[in-house]
Amino acid sequence: MDRDLLRLLVGDVDGDAVAAWRRASDALVAAGAPPGALPRLALAARYADALDDVDAVVARLRHVGPEGVAAARARHGAGAATVLAARDVLLHELAGLDDAELVGAIAADTALAVAALEALRDPDEHVTGRVVGALPLVAALATPAPPPVEHEAPPAGVTARPLLDHVAVRALDRKLAGLERRDAARFQPGGGLSATAFAAAAATLDDVRGAGLLGAVRLALLHLDVAKGGDAATRRAWQAAGVDVTIHNLAAARLVERGALAHPHRALIVALVESHGLAGQSLRGETPRPAFARWIARIAALRAELAVTLGVDEASAAALACACLHVIDVVDTAAVREGLVDDRLLAGLEGVRDWLTAACQGPAAPVAEVEARLVAEAAPRARRSSGWR
């Protein structure tokens, strides 16, 4: 860094001290910390002497509003001080980014994605406007509504925003972060998967991360349920624009497709949003295999481009796309309620993933043609067996 700039910021500095600072920053990143680790630590000093007093931390917050504070208190009790301090630091980081930088930061870091969504609880905060400006569809997740009976209930005294709680609290902060860190206790505080099954799920996420596709998974997770939300005026506007909101995954995909989301893997994100949840539906007998025609057609058409971008062959590119969908289905399903994803359900989802991986290797064809082929294949299969393996 330029010495004159350093002098203006911190006064006369010894060259060896600057070099040590750079080495410390590089060491943090090499150890797995995000590139912005050092600035985050500097900002965190604002709260360092107040972390044993939630009220003292709240008095110093710059970006977390009153409902965000209430939600943190309800969920974390005495631990809310640390949670709120960390969230305020992360939101400070996001507030200074332009739209493209903000989307990129959220795609690159699950903690930033969680902080961005949690900011939606307080629409009057400046940083919330920044988040909605960059990712306008996610505002629909914050629509208040009664919680579905099959989902984990929100804490008492907090405005029920079931879509936001599902995505931010459970899918991202608990399930995805747990898999990323191979932290089974975080992923399933109530149990569910055996150690072997959890390791298998984490290994698939590692494959996705190693290919550079975890950012696409994060952005897809943010948009899976947007078409379930929105107030009445928003939903009327979507319908007036020609979006059929009756099937939420198809509607969400159309909204993302029509929007301005800028990401190198935008086409994959649309496909992930469009076909999420079908694996679980198929295992419950609610969805036949031909329902996967859209996914198979999209990936068959996309795999050559994806292979070039990832530096792999087309078969591997298709397999990685199916791995992305599998991670989303595991995370999204596990976020419904604790213990839902057990070894048996995970094995079923793995079976769907493996079948899709093979199905996406065929020649590219229109959706209608793929659907007709799957219908033809389904008839003799239905007479033989109903299993995926």
Summarize pLDDT for 127-169 with one digit per residue, the tens.
999 999 999 999 999 999 987 756 677 777 788 999 999 999 9
- Looking at the chain, the whole-number percentage of residues with pLDDT higher than 90 is 81
- Position 11 pLDDT exceeds 90: no
Distance of CA 59 to the CA centre of its chain: 30
Handedness of CA 33, 34, 37, 40 (dihedral sign): negative
Domain boundaries, the chain: 36-134, 160-389
Across 41-50, average pLDDT: 94
11 φ/ψ sector (left φ>0, alpha ψ -120 to 50, else beta): left
Q: How confident is the model at residue 204 (pLDDT cuts 50, 70, 90)?
A: very high
Across 254-279, average pLDDT: 96
Rounded CA gap, 177 and 167, in Å? 12
- For residue 132, the SS3 value is helix
Tokens of 361: 């290797």
- Position 1 pLDDT exceeds 60: no
Neighbours of 35 (CB within 10 A): 12
Summarize pLDDT for 207-251 with one digit per residue, the tens.
999 999 999 999 999 999 999 999 999 999 999 999 999 999 999
Summarize pLDDT for 283-333 with one digit per residue, the tens.
999 999 999 999 999 999 999 999 999 999 999 999 999 999 999 999 999
Helix 293-310 crosses helix 367-384 at what angle (to 10 degrees)? Answer: 120
Helices and strands per DSSP (H, E), number in the chain: 22, 0
Nearest to 297 by CA among 353, 250, 362: 362
The predicted structure's pLDDT at residue 389: 45
The predicted structure's pLDDT at residue 33: 83
Instruction: Mean pLDDT check: name the lowest of 21-35, 202-216, 366-380.
Output: 21-35
Across 86-105, average pLDDT: 96
Residue partners of 220: CB distance under 8 A and separation at least 6: 269, 272, 273, 276, 324, 328
- For residue 51, the SS3 value is coil
* Inter-CA distances, 154 with 66, 165, 194, 338, Å: 17, 7, 27, 14
Mean pLDDT of all residues in the chain?
A: 93
Q: How confident is the model at residue 17 (pLDDT cuts 50, 70, 90)?
A: confident
Handedness of CA 174, 198, 267, 277 (dihedral sign): negative
- Position 359 pLDDT exceeds 60: yes
Nearest to 176 by CA among 381, 330, 1: 330
Rounded CA gap, 129 and 95, in Å? 9
- Position 111 pLDDT exceeds 80: yes
Q: How confident is the model at residue 367 (pLDDT cuts 50, 70, 90)?
A: very high
Across 38-50, average pLDDT: 92
- Position 85 pLDDT exceeds 70: yes
